[in-house]
Amino acid sequence: MKSIYLFLLASLIGIEISIGVFLAPTIFYPAKFIGEGVLTHFQSGLLMTHIFVQFGYVLLGVSALSILMEIFSFKDKNLTFKINFSKFMLSLIILVLSLLFVFYFTAYVLEAQSLGEEATKTQEFIKIHGASEVVMKIIMLSQVILFFLNFKTKK
């Protein structure tokens, strides 16, 4: 079961990198690839939001599995208490931030988009969107650390 968990965690990290490095620039700057006038910035945002809504299900699923796996592996005698506690706390941070990302940030963006393009140009929207990017980066960094901590053994 641990190998499946680590595979899902690594896959999620890969999905997050792919979304940020490949998908977002392609969706937000389509003129580089297929010419001008294809999508407005607002339309690109609508597409990206749809992707993040779908991604949110995967994020929450793996985050929930992560906390469960770390709770059950807390008594692992091959690891020190500090490592076990660190893994548990990282998985808890990931879960809390994932819930925040899905149920606050994504919900906020969906609400703003439903009000129209002008609502996505406000200072409040820009601040909330920027905060969501920071939260996602913290989630991803925590996942990477958690992934590698799962290979740590007692010395």
Give, in order, the Cα–Cα distances in Å from 115 to each of 44, 60, 77, 121: 16, 27, 54, 11
User: Which of 38-52, 72-86, 112-126 has the lowest average pLDDT?
Assistant: 72-86
In a domain, 59, yes or no: yes
Domain count of the fold of the chain? 1
In a domain, 154, yes or no: no
Q: How far apart, in whole angstroms, are the C-alpha atoms of residue 59 and residue 98?
A: 7
**Closest to 24 measured CA to CA, from 117, 137, 122:** 137
Whole-number average pLDDT of the chain: 92
Q: Domain range for residue 43?
A: 2-149
Could you tell me what percent of the chain has a pLDDT over 90?
Answer: 73
The residue-averaged pLDDT of 22-49 equals 86
Give, in order, the Cα–Cα distances in Å from 107 to each of 24, 33, 112, 114: 19, 30, 9, 11
The pTM of the whole model exceeds 0.85? yes
Instruction: Please say whether the beta carbons of 113 and 154 come within 8 A.
Output: no
